[in-house]
């Protein structure tokens, strides 16, 4: 009788854990979808007003890094409170605003709208593939974290240097690396949620959003370099 009760308790615990994981995953997907709305609004505002046009070189880098890390710090501080979601949405608006300069440059091509939509579709495709893989892969991927972090730091340093160098070849190499690293980061972060390693949906959304925005930016840069048609 005791063994039977213990089996029931273990089964109930496993069911509860699965339900919690599914809830975190659902909340993450909903918030991730919602976060794209202020991103689009920020990008539209930036393109329409040209407010970020003057943010080039060192000044643009300072504004971006200061704003991004400031928001990320604030999100981590508020992720367990009611303020967490509004702060995250504020961050996604800021990211859309910062992204608007590159979008405006690509829209300057004759086929600019097609390039932006292709980058968006490509990013959605990458996310769908990684979400599918995270649900079928049984292997523990936690060991990927440290290598992905090192790779992300390396490409960030390379991107900062290239702000001042302005090399097209370096930009292509960095964009390819960004797409690869942050596609893998999507899989890593989604697998953490599936495995129960991430239980806060705001933190999970932030991690996935950063990967998505980086993959989109990398694809947009490559499409602009290789597929941009001038009038």
| pLDDT, tens only, 24-71 | 889 999 999 999 999 999 999 999 888 877 776 667 778 888 988 999
pLDDT for the residue numbered 215: 96
Task: Judge whether 176 and 218 are in contact, CB under 8 Å.
Answer: yes
CA distance 204 to 88: 11
Q: Which residue has the tokens 């490509």?
A: 122
Given this model, what pLDDT does residue 2 score? 45
Q: What is the pLDDT at residue 25?
A: 87
Helical ranges in the chain per DSSP H: 2-49, 57-78, 84-107, 112-136, 144-165, 168-194, 201-227
φ, ψ dihedrals at 50, nearest 5°: 70, 25
DSSP character at residue 142 = T
The pTM (predicted TM-score) of the whole model is 0.87
Written as one string, the DSSP assignment of 88-109 is: HHHHHHHHHHHHHHHHHHHHTS
* CA-based nearest residue to 123, from 193, 223, 206: 223
Domain range summary for the chain, segments of one domain joined by +: 2-227
Classify 82 in phi/psi space as left (phi over 0), alpha (psi -120 to 50) or beta: alpha
- 135's CB contacts (< 8 A; 6+ apart) are 194
DSSP-assigned letter for residue 213 = H
Instruction: Give the per-residue pLDDT at 165.
Output: 83
Could you give the CA distance from residue 95 to residue 40 in angstroms, rounded to a whole number? Answer: 9
Low-confidence ranges of the chain (pLDDT < 70): 1-15, 17, 56-58, 229, 231
pLDDT at 5: 41
**What pLDDT score does 231 carry?**
66
């Amino acid at each position: 009788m005791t063994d039977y009760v213990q089996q029931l308790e273990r089964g109930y615990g496993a069911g509860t854990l699965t339900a919690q994981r599914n809830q975190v995953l659902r909340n993450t997907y909903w918030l991730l979808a919602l976060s794209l709305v202020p991103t689009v609004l920020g990008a539209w505002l930036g393109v329409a007003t040209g407010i970020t046009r003057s943010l080039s070189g060192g000044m643009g880098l300072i504004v971006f890094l200061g704003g991004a890390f400031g928001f990320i710090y604030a999100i981590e501080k508020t992720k367990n409170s009611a303020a967490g979601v509004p702060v995250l949405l504020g961050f996604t608006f800021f990211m859309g605003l910062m992204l608007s300069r590159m979008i405006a440059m690509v829209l300057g091509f004759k086929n600019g709208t097609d390039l932006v939509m292709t980058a968006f579709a490509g990013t959605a495709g990458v996310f769908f593939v990684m979400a599918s893989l995270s649900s079928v892969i049984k292997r523990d991927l936690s060991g990927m974290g440290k290598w992905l972090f090192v790779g992300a730091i390396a490409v960030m340093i390379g991107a900062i240097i290239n702000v001042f160098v302005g090399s097209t070849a370096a930009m292509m190499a960095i964009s390819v690396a960004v797409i690869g690293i942050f596609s893998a980061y999507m899989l890593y972060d989604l697998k953490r949620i599936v495995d129960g390693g991430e239980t806060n949906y705001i933190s999970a959304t932030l991690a996935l959003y950063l990967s998505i925005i980086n993959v989109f930016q990398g694809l947009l840069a490559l499409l602009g370099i290789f597929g941009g048609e001038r009038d």
